[in-house]
Structure 1
Amino acid sequence: MRPGVPQPAAGPSVCPRHPDREAYVRCQRCGRPACPECQRPAAVGIQCVDCVREAARSTPSARTVFGGRATDGTPVVTYSIIAICAVVYLAQRASQSVTLDFAFAPFLGWSEPWRFVTAAFLHSPQTIFHILLNMFALWSLGQYLEPMLGRARFAALYLISGIGGQVGVTLLAGSPTVADVAAGGRGAWFGAVVGASGAIFGLFGALLVLNRHLGRSSTAMYATIAINAAFGFLYPGISWQAHLGGLVTGLACAGVIVAFRKQGVRRLVWAALLAVLAVVVGLAVAKYLTVPVDIRELTAG
């Protein structure tokens, strides 16, 4: 190259992600060429999509006060549960078999354990007030708790509390004997229960624990808890035992969420929640093992 002799201008670079495209801009972070499709505006200059993704992976995500992943505040899980319950309720009104196939009764829990979960999405098809009251309570609680806990923790709290509600029914249903059944005695062991009330009482319990930890008052929620508790005594198929089981389970879940909220032990919260679930399931299994096999292994058919 001789000094003073003009050189031809360098041609445009080629985008490494799109070799068939010319790139006139380079990434401010890695220096590679980036075509218009691969350019992303940054605080200073332009970055390529690869650098933007790498920065997103390496940047710690925002967390709630209890260690959950922060969201935009929209209670997506709450709305989803409400939608599922509404669709299932319409199915219950359309076909009685939906309630029969998915409601919970202690005598069916051993042979058809999925009912421990499905019953939390059913409601009494005879009255619309059951689902309306439960969904209003869920909507009120979910708007407050879900952004505070994060979606995953809130969903786990709801499901584990729902299972805990059915376990409460099982533990408090007495101990039937073959002689009792032969004599025509049915009792609570053979009574079906439905409703999201157990799970919702779990949310109530969690609210009390979390508000206490934050130094906030829960006085405004006591009337709602009382109304929902009274509802279990006024309508058939809605069990105070499920309310109690869900409440105790929700208290336990909230306790471990608080205990493992800090960054150093945050990941242990899932093991702790699984431990709560294991205890709940273990109590149910222990109760079933005290029941005669002929009764324990009954089925809906």
Structure 2
Amino acid sequence: MRGAFGGAVASDRPVVTWAIIAVCVAVYALQWLIPNDFIFQNFYYANGFATTEPWRMVTAAFLHSQGNILHLGLNMYTLWIFGQALEPLLGRARFLALYLISAVGGSVGYLLLVPPALDGGVVGASGAIFGLFGAMLLVQRRRGGPMTQLWVLLAINLAFGFLVSGIAWQAHLGGLVTGAACAAVLVGTGRTQRAPLWQWLGLALVSAVLVILTVWKAGAPALS
């Protein structure tokens, strides 16, 4: 069986969503169980790691603040909401790709918009989840569904990131733009015979743009 946008779906159960939630919860437990802050120190993202340890752009999305369990709880709840809606429509592989590319997009947004003097590092699934937000907007529009509640919810969440200290709104914005770009590829190719090819090529192109932006920004002279 195939979803509305061409992805293979074995059932309506959001298995990938559950798996991501399980990994995030397990990693959060390990953050507490393994001493010397080992998990955080080895897997969080800061801009200084952009070219030397680029995998942190993804791994940071599976870590959460130990000082605030709501950071984990709210992110996982939002992931569950969007995952239930998007995964059956996109298919498991495309949904996972959307999530991971959006996570990288969040890190790239942080890289592009945070001055070196303010780079304290970042953890959390928020960038990836804002990517799902961006994707949901395009999917809902394509399907002709109501948009008002989504726009209001997006405005509230973006404003929250700008107004509350300690929140990396730059990662939110980067994830949002990246998720929307991925969704534009997935919903814009229809269900023709060649659609899967164009979808994966489009996702590869979005990923390539993120790599180019990372290399460009990381190699640019630091601005004070």
Same fold by TM (over 0.5)? yes
What is the aligned partner in structure 2 of residue 260 from structure 1? Answer: 189
What is the aligned partner in structure 2 of residue 165 from structure 1? Answer: 106
Between the aligned partners of 1:128 and 1:235, the Cα distance in structure 2 is 17
- Alignment pair present for 1:76 and 2:15: yes
Residues 207 and 218, structure 1, Cα contact 8 Å, conserved in 2:
no
What is the aligned partner in structure 2 of residue 37 from structure 1? Answer: none
What is the aligned partner in structure 2 of residue 290 from structure 1? Answer: 220
Between the aligned partners of 2:92 and 2:79, the Cα distance in structure 1 is 14
What is the aligned partner in structure 2 of residue 197 from structure 1? Answer: 126
- The structure carrying a bigger strand percent of its residues is 1
* SS of aligned partner of 2:7: coil
- Alignment pair present for 1:248 and 2:177: yes
Cα deviation, residue 232, structure 1: 6.6
Between the aligned partners of 1:149 and 1:82, the Cα distance in structure 2 is 18
Identical-residue share of aligned pairs (%) = 49
What is the aligned partner in structure 2 of residue 115 from structure 1? Answer: 56
Between the aligned partners of 1:131 and 1:224, the Cα distance in structure 2 is 19
Between the aligned partners of 2:151 and 2:69, the Cα distance in structure 1 is 23
What is the aligned partner in structure 1 of residue 44 from structure 2? Answer: 103
TM-score (normalizing by structure 1): 0.69
Cα deviation, residue 257, structure 1: 0.5
What is the aligned partner in structure 2 of residue 299 from structure 1? Answer: none
RCO comparison, higher one (Cα < 8 Å, 6+): 2
Q: How many residues align?
A: 219
Cα deviation, residue 143, structure 1: 0.3
Q: Deviations over 1:175-214 (max 9, x none)?
A: x5xxxxxxxxxx22x3110100000000000000011111
| Structure 2: stretches of 5+ with no match in the other structure | none
CA 1:228 to 1:195, structure 2 compared with 1: closer, same or farther past 3 Å? farther
Residues 91 and 98, structure 1, Cα contact 8 Å, conserved in 2:
yes
CA 1:202 to 1:192, structure 2 compared with 1: closer, same or farther past 3 Å? same
RMSD (CA atoms)? 1.8
| Structure 1: stretches of 5+ with no match in the other structure | 1-61, 177-186, 296-301
Q: Please tell me whether Structure 1 or Structure 2 has the larger radius of gyration of its CA atoms.
A: 1
TM-score (normalizing by structure 2): 0.92
